[in-house]
């Protein structure tokens, strides 16, 4: 499925593209159907918001930016097919978010395409895929990760849980069995050991295929763990929390996707006290944060409490980079745009963003929250929400560049 979104004269005050100008087209290749759609749609809504804001401010290169949306059907093969379609339609920036397996496919496709098509390169602005390899073994000049990775998130999460005396002595690790989940398992083991707790067991399972997590909940209960750390997302976190609630399991979860729509509604009271690590929390940012979430709600129809801020902030950073290049209404030079992405800065409602030149990993603040009835903003039609515990600065959240990243830069 492909939907075409062009935020044109009605929002931006711009007319059609100037004669001879190249319109900047961005392809969002995401899971818009299937078990991962709850996550994919949220990222895509953030992209829509970000593009609309740039266009409202004047667009780029004499025309509104066009956002093209493609449904990858949740897998690498679908993403590869949609990438070919996007290229044929003149896309210069490709984005995706929810699946690191999809990201691995796209980053290699884009790398090879750019080698074959000098002067017509495509930038990969990834706004959510977090497998470490993307900025390590698979890093390249045209790839930019505008999100965290498991080491960044889990280090900050476990450290904060330790500081607030909620980590406990025994921790269980459960994750999806692919690159991203395996990275989480390693990051969790490292962080738990550093915090002085014991990792009692670690489990990997199939991705978005498990319909009944009760056997896993039984193992967690038998382990005596007080805390469960998981990088699960989409249906896998929803169903894991639902099974915990059904079994009356009394543990505290630490996760990266507890705010996936439907999670708290399914988990009920079982989610209370659990910790979430995310780029943004609705309670963060003071007046600037309040203005952002209210504007988002006006434009999109709901508050950006899930994955939407990650994508919206990534496009906000892109907008700052676009201001530093001028193609005078002609052809877009992807190399100049990539260099601008390396050297720009942007202030989100939570704090400053930048991109590291060495591996194109974005550096920015992240938030730690607790599922609580005292949260200002309730979600999923429940009496619960995410109470802000801490904003971790970009400097404190940053992890070193991987020695596996040997980026070859264009001459």
Which alpha helices (DSSP H) does 323-393 contain, by range?
334-343
Phi and psi at residue 166, to the nearest 5°: -120, 0
pLDDT of residue 1: 44
Phi and psi at residue 97, to the nearest 5°: -155, -60
For residue 366, the cross-strand partners are 392
Q: Which CATH class for the 2-148+285-363 domain?
A: alpha beta
pLDDT digits (tens, 9 = 90+) for 252-284: 999 999 998 888 998 888 899 999 999 999 999
Check whether 7 has a pLDDT greater than 80.
Answer: no
Percentage of the residues of the chain whose pLDDT score is greater than 90:
88
For residue 4, the cross-strand partners are 68
pLDDT of residue 270: 86
Task: Give the integer Cα–Cα distance in Å for 277 and 287.
Answer: 22
Question: What is the reported pTM?
Answer: 0.91
When pLDDT is cut at 50, 70 and 90, the band that residue 164 belongs to is very high
| C-alpha pair distances (Å), 336 with each of 1, 175, 270, 411 | 32, 39, 50, 12
Task: Give the integer Cα–Cα distance in Å for 133 and 196.
Answer: 28
Check whether 82 has a pLDDT greater than 70.
Answer: yes
pLDDT of residue 12: 41
One DSSP character per residue, 9-77 reads HHHH---SPPTTPPPPEEEEEE--SSTTHHHHHHHHHHHHHHHHHHHHTT-BTTB--EEEEEE-TTSHH
Check whether 19 has a pLDDT greater than 70.
Answer: no
pLDDT of residue 13: 41
Check whether 14 has a pLDDT greater than 50.
Answer: no
Mean pLDDT score across all residues of the chain: 93
254's tokens: 């630490």
pLDDT of residue 15: 44
For residue 252, the cross-strand partners are 227
- pLDDT, mean of residues 52-75: 95
Residues 342-373 as b or e (16 or more Cβ within 10 Å = b): bebebebbbbebbbbeebbbbbbbbbbbbbbe
- Asked if the domains at 2-148+285-363 and 151-278+365-397 fall in one CATH topology, the answer is yes
When pLDDT is cut at 50, 70 and 90, the band that residue 35 belongs to is confident
Q: How do the domains of the chain map onto residue ranges? A: 2-148+285-363, 151-278+365-397
Check whether 5 has a pLDDT greater than 50.
Answer: no
312 contact partners, CB below 8 Å, separation of at least 6: 46, 47, 49, 50, 53, 296, 304
Percentage of the residues of the chain whose pLDDT score is greater than 70:
95
Architecture per CATH, domain 151-278+365-397, reads as 3-Layer(aba) Sandwich (3.40)
pLDDT of residue 9: 37
- pLDDT, mean of residues 217-239: 95
Place of tokens 């990993």: 361
pLDDT digits (tens, 9 = 90+) for 336-390: 999 999 999 999 999 999 999 999 999 999 999 999 999 999 999 999 999 999 9
Check whether 84 has a pLDDT greater than 90.
Answer: yes
pLDDT digits (tens, 9 = 90+) for 166-203: 999 999 999 999 999 999 999 999 999 999 999 999 99
When pLDDT is cut at 50, 70 and 90, the band that residue 63 belongs to is very high
């Amino acid at each position: 499925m492909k939907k075409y979104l062009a935020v044109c004269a009605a929002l931006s005050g711009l007319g059609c593209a100037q004669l001879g100008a190249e319109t900047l087209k961005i392809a969002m290749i995401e899971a818009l159907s299937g078990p991962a759609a709850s996550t994919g749609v949220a990222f895509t809504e953030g992209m829509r918001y970000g593009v609309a804001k740039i266009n409202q401010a004047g667009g780029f290169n004499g025309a509104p930016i066009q956002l093209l949306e493609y449904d990858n059907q949740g897998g690498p093969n679908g993403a590869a097919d949609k990438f070919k379609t996007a290229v044929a339609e003149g896309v210069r920036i490709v984005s995706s978010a929810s699946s690191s397996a999809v990201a691995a496919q796209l980053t290699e496709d884009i790398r090879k395409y750019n080698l074959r098509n000098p002067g017509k390169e495509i930038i990969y602005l990834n706004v959510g895929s977090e497998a470490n390899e993307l900025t390590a073994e698979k890093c390249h000049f045209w790839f930019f990760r505008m999100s965290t990775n498991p080491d960044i998130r889990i280090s900050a999460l476990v450290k904060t849980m330790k500081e607030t005396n909620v980590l406990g002595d025994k921790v269980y690790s459960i994750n999806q069995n692919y690159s991203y989940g395996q990275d989480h398992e390693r990051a969790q083991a490292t962080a738990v050991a550093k915090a002085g707790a014991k990792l009692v067991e670690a489990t990997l399972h199939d991705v978005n295929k498990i319909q009944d997590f009760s056997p896993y909940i039984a193992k967690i209960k038998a382990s005596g763990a007080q805390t469960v750390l998981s990088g699960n997302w989409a249906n896998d976190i929803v169903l894991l929390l639902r099974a915990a609630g059904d079994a009356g399991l009394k543990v505290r979860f630490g996760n990266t996707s507890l705010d996936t729509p439907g999670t708290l509604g399914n988990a009920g009271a079982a989610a209370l006290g659990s910790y979430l690590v995310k780029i943004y929390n609705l309670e963060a940012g003071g007046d600037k944060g309040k203005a952002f979430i209210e504007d988002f709600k006006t434009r999109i129809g709901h508050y950006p409490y899930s994955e939407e801020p990650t994508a919206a902030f990534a496009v906000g950073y892109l907008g700052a980079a676009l201001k530093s290049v001028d193609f005078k209404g002609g052809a877009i030079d992807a190399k100049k745009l990539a260099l601008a992405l390396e050297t720009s800065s942007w202030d989100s409602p939570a704090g400053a963003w930048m991109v590291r030149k060495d591996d194109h990993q974005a550096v920015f603040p992240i938030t730690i929250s607790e599922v609580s009835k005292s949260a200002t903003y309730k979600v999923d039609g429940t009496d619960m929400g995410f109470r802000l515990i801490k904003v971790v600065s970009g400097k404190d959240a940053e992890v070193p560049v991987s020695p596996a990243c040997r980026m070859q830069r264009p001459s």
